[in-house]
Amino acid sequence: MRGIPRATARSMAGAPEWRTGGNRHLACRPAGPTRFICISIQINLAPDAFSVHPYRLQDPSMKAVVMRLFLCEKPSQAKDIAAVLGATRRGDGCWIGPNATVTWCIGHLLETAPPDAYDARYKRWVLDDLPIVPDKWKMLVKPRTASQFKAVKRLLGETRELVIATDADREGEMIARELVEHCRYRGPIQRLWLSALDDASIRKALASLKPGADTFSLYHSALGRSRADWLIGMNMSRLFTLLGRQSGYQGVLPVGRVQTPTLRLVVDRDRSIADFVPVPYWAIDVKLLHEGQAFIAQWRAPADACDDQDRCLNQPLAQQAAEALRNAASARVVKLRTERIREAAPLPFDLGTLQEICSKKLGLGAQETLDIAQSLYETHKVITYPRSDCGYLPISQHGEAAGIIAALGKADPALSELLRHLDPQRRSRAWNDARVSAHHGIIPTAAARGIERLTGKPRAVYTLIRARYLAQFLPNHEYDRTQADFECAGQALRAVGKQIVEPGWKRAMPEALAPAKGREAPAPQNLPALFQGCDCAVNEVILKDLWTQPPKPFTEGDLIKAMKNVARLVEDPLLKQKLKDTTGIGTEATRAGIIQGLLDRGYLIKQGKALCATPAAFSLIDAVPRAIADPGTTAIWEQALDMVQSGEMSLEEFVAKQAAWMSKQVTRCVGLRLTISGPASPAGGAAPWKKKRKTGTRKAASGTASKSKRPARSKKKA
């Protein structure tokens, strides 16, 4: 280097060196038996612009000191945080600044060791080796990201203080903490808890770092989930694959703690559709006129002729009623009631609800919705953290509402009419500190200028999120519901009308004002000015010949909802009593991946929006014991993981209970003889079932029919 004395330059040749901040340090020449003369070179942009500062170092093996290290989950996140911290110089796997260094993971840099890492004999799958339960759990460095692991390990060895800046959830906590443990970092830890990645949100979070101890329980909860998944997956997959081979089934039968109960939800739904036997019923619509305005009233059949959903099952009775009504001249109002209905705005989205609505309105898959939301958060920075399980907002966030609304209006002039109706001071039920979990609802950020780059599906998803937020600043939706009961030729009729009084929050979501769709959805109508005792002319009588409908196949959005609210699907009354209504299987962050994994493995296929189980799925669910595939059992374990997070149960206790339960299942199942039909799931992971054409009817699984059993009959109309 130019400008350095020759003697110094010679002493630098081959010298050990390291870097901190903008300095390059080199141990140059001996200064006694244990001392080295070292040089610190200040590196600037110009090649000759540096200064040389000699100092003494007691021990040449001493490492450079990083004053504060920020550990992020991914490179893009690290770049955003580094920019705010002024860490703009690129180092080896990090960004370097005057007061902080920012490094990153690439998801998990470590993975739980496979069975053969504990004992080489586990490379062969043998029934007598089961169950496999590690005494001391091992983590291995992922080969694909080994270079970044080395960089993080080096920086952890050099830092005086660590700030965990991974995603603010259980998985993010585990990504960081497993490295802390593996690399034996023992220094102080703080936690950066981010809800958004725009500059203002990062600065706000930096000003209120949490003590590391506040979020440590999240790590144990995530670690418990990981170990439970390992115990079930490694042992049960080996067990049922080996049992299958004894029955001549050459392939892998993968069993997962969450994926298998999820698959059973779809299999059970498909079977209920296939086994469904339609039942005929009859309804009568009567078109009435009053003061020139037409409206529809429905016939009210006697209770003893109806099922539990008030559908008339007696055809002769319906035909007689239709004939009597057709011969009548008028219907008289015998009872009239009007009530004002007030509906509060729906909460901002949590991830599961966003996936459900995007599936229904936009036709998006669960993983596709998550990927889009993640890009809106990370790349465009126009929404807050998307993997939230909560739709509520902290009261402290309400103070930012006026600024966010102003930014949204500036970014999108099309909102100008809506903004005139908004009151930024209005505080809806969404602002509730007592209901906020680790994350608040998904809302837009003030960095709304980035929306001009959004098109297509990302723009549509963003618009849904924005509308839910803006709805919080509008009044309740109010309407008058009028119910009129009529007597006509000895028959009872009822008409229901709806008159909107205040659109309220539905101004932000025009689609919410649209009529409900579906053949059984009653059409909304405005009734004329009726009064008790008034007569309405009978204009037309329509006898409708209908069939009960089978359950609908799951869409991805429906399946996400079912996974979240699995307690409602549990039949065992004791188990149902134990489950909280909000307990689900999987997490907001993992459910989409579970569904996608079942699709990739060929256990589910998509027919339009519908998810359908394949023959291999039926075989697998029929093979495994009910306890393993029962969503209720899995939900109980999810509750236990929540107890680990809250400190009510230790990690060790949870893993021990999971291992004991799994070992009991192995003992019970080891002598089973499986009867498996359908194509095998190859060890290589290829789909065991593929549609050969893009269109066409799905082949029915063994023992099922592809269509519900609807008997043929002629339709009769009046």
Catalytic positions: 385
Distance in angstroms (rounded) separating the CA atoms of residues 29 and 10: 9
Distance in angstroms (rounded) separating the CA atoms of residues 194 and 459: 23
In 247-394, which residue ranges form alpha helices assigned H by DSSP? Answer: 259-274, 315-326, 351-362, 366-378
- Cβ contact 164:173 at 8 Å: yes
Distance in angstroms (rounded) separating the CA atoms of residues 381 and 708: 47
Distance in angstroms (rounded) separating the CA atoms of residues 524 and 506: 16
Give residues with Cβ within 8 angstroms of 281, minimum separation 6: 307, 311, 312, 313, 546, 547, 548
Radius of gyration (C-alpha) of the chain in whole angstroms: 33
Beta-bridged to residue 112, according to DSSP, are 139
Read off the tokens for 582: 């909000």
Residue environment code for 650-661, b if the CB has 16+ CB neighbours within 10 A, otherwise e? ebeebbeebbeb
Nearest to residue 70, comparing CAs of 174, 154, 179, 190? 190
Distance in angstroms (rounded) separating the CA atoms of residues 94 and 551: 54
Distance in angstroms (rounded) separating the CA atoms of residues 713 and 345: 46
Please state whether beta strands 535-547 and 330-343 pair in parallel, antiparallel, or not at all (unpaired).
Answer: antiparallel
Query: How big is the chain, counted in residues?
Result: 718
Nearest to residue 622, comparing CAs of 271, 273, 242? 271
Read off the tokens for 549: 């409908």
Read off the tokens for 246: 């004894």
- Cβ contact 91:78 at 8 Å: no
Helix axis angle for 351-362 and 556-564, nearest 10°, is: 160
Tell me the one-letter amino acid at 86: G
What H or E segment, with its residue span, contains residue 613? strand 610-613
- Cβ contact 366:596 at 8 Å: yes
Q: What are phi and psi of 447, to 5 degrees?
A: -85, 55
Distance in angstroms (rounded) separating the CA atoms of residues 79 and 104: 9
SS (H, E, C) 169-188: CHHHHHHHHHHHHHCCCCCC
Nearest to residue 613, comparing CAs of 598, 626, 625? 598
The gap from C-alpha 366 to its chain's centroid, in whole angstroms, comes to 8
From the CB of residue 74, how many other CB atoms can be counted at a distance below 10 Å? 15
Distance in angstroms (rounded) separating the CA atoms of residues 253 and 241: 5
Read off the tokens for 83: 């920019």
Read off the tokens for 456: 């297509």
